[in-house]
Amino acid sequence: MPTALRAPAAFLVRRGGERLLFDCAEGTQRQLQRSSVGLPDLEEIFLTHLHADHFLGLPGMLKTFALRGREEPGLTVYGPSGLRVLFSKLKPFLGRLPFPLTTVELAPGEVLERGDYRIETFAVDHGVAAVGYALVENERPGRFDVEAADALGVPPGSERGQLQRGEPVTLAGGAVVAPDAVLGPARPGRKIVLTGDTAPAPSVVQAAYGADVLVHEATFANEEKERARETLHATAAEAAEVARLAEVRLLALTHVSTRYFGSELAREAREIFPETVVPRDFDVVEVPFPERGAPELVKGGARSEATEPV
Ligand SMILES: [Zn+2]
Ligand SMILES: [Zn+2]
């Protein structure tokens, strides 16, 4: 539940010009407005499950988009089985929306292909219909070796672009240059995995394998391990064990019970998995391409003047 300093679950993924929202708890639109991001005309919202602390922000946000007079673009809400029933119940309260609203139910193991990356759903263990989400970028072509291209006599210009896209070119003299001759090894893309609410689960370890960032819930500390089992949530140490087994680069713990500040959870998790952070509201996790460094928590990275108390 929310506290004076923490809002319930919502994560915005910014990738290039795209803005993807994962979960939309009560107050999400206002937290976005208070941040340096603002409230963009989101086109896609992904719900992990239909517990109230993960979707209650949606009706208000949809009404705001309506009041802004949004007709385009449309909005698609993805979520587990039960999403359509939820929206049919919300409909009388939402009234007419001037923009197209689509709901898409997803089962674990589905893949949404989208050009240079994909979103995969996976099973979690929370006792209700629920999916985790993995955003997985395609491999990128290797680095272009200018010296090699010069040596092979590839003229500067469109031929080099062609090679960079992985297509062979035929030079004026008739010689064929293969892309391999001027490109380094393919470079991995990035992978971000969001679990939503879950007890520690092998399916999460598998889905998160090699991720740059694993956003895992850690509702409880060790002292409440029993309660974590009963409620199908995770402790910080359990989330850390998942991160260790999955060999991720950074673990971000969220969904922290109001009993904890975050620092005690970080301490317990780091004994098992040192690269753990517990982001606060308005923090940002930067995820560079692997060759450019490790993912990093930027404290207050999305703070703005509106974030500060008056
Ligand atoms: Zn839940
Ligand atoms: Zn929850």
Reported as a single tens digit per residue, the pLDDT across 281-292 is 999 999 999 999
The 10s digit of each residue's pLDDT in 39-87 is: 999 999 999 999 999 999 999 999 999 999 999 999 999 999 999 999 9
Looking up tokens 């060759």 gives 291
- Pick the ligand that lies closest to the CA of residue 198: 1
Taking the C-alpha atoms of residue 274 and residue 269, their distance in angstroms, rounded to an integer, is 7
What's the gap in Å between 23 CA and the centre of ligand 2?
Answer: 10
Tell me which H or E stretch contains 298: strand 296-298
The whole-number pLDDT of residue 310 equals 59
The pTM of the full predicted model, rounded to 2 decimals, is 0.93
Structure tokens at 310: 């008056």
Taking the C-alpha atoms of residue 48 and residue 81, their distance in angstroms, rounded to an integer, is 10
- Pick the ligand that lies closest to the CA of residue 51: 1
The 10s digit of each residue's pLDDT in 188-239 is: 999 999 999 999 999 999 999 999 999 999 999 999 999 999 999 999 999 9
Is the separation of the CB atoms in 196 and 217 below 8 Å? Answer: yes
Structure tokens at 291: 């060759």
- Tell me which of 53, 125, 145, 283 is the catalytic residue: 53
Q: Is 281 among the catalytic positions?
A: no
**Would the pLDDT of 36 be above 80?**
yes
**E-assigned strand segments in 218-256:** 250-254
**Alpha carbon 236 to chain centroid, angstroms:** 20
Q: What is the mean pLDDT of the chain?
A: 96
What's the gap in Å between 45 CA and the centre of ligand 1?
Answer: 17
Sorting pLDDT into bands at 50, 70 and 90, what band is 141? confident
Tell me which H or E stretch contains 216: strand 213-217
**Would the pLDDT of 308 be above 80?**
no
Lowest mean pLDDT among 4-8, 9-13, 145-149: 4-8
What's the gap in Å between 38 CA and the centre of ligand 2?
Answer: 24
What's the gap in Å between 52 CA and the centre of ligand 2?
Answer: 8
- Contacts of 60 by beta carbon, 8 Å cutoff, 6+ apart: 29
What's the gap in Å between 293 CA and the centre of ligand 1?
Answer: 34
The 10s digit of each residue's pLDDT in 235-276 is: 999 999 999 999 999 999 999 999 999 999 999 999 999 999
- Pick the ligand that lies closest to the CA of residue 126: 1
**Would the pLDDT of 105 be above 80?**
yes
In angstroms, how far is the first alpha carbon of the chain from the final one?
24
The 10s digit of each residue's pLDDT in 109-136 is: 999 999 999 999 999 999 999 999 999 9
The 10s digit of each residue's pLDDT in 159-195 is: 999 999 889 999 999 999 999 999 999 999 999 999 9
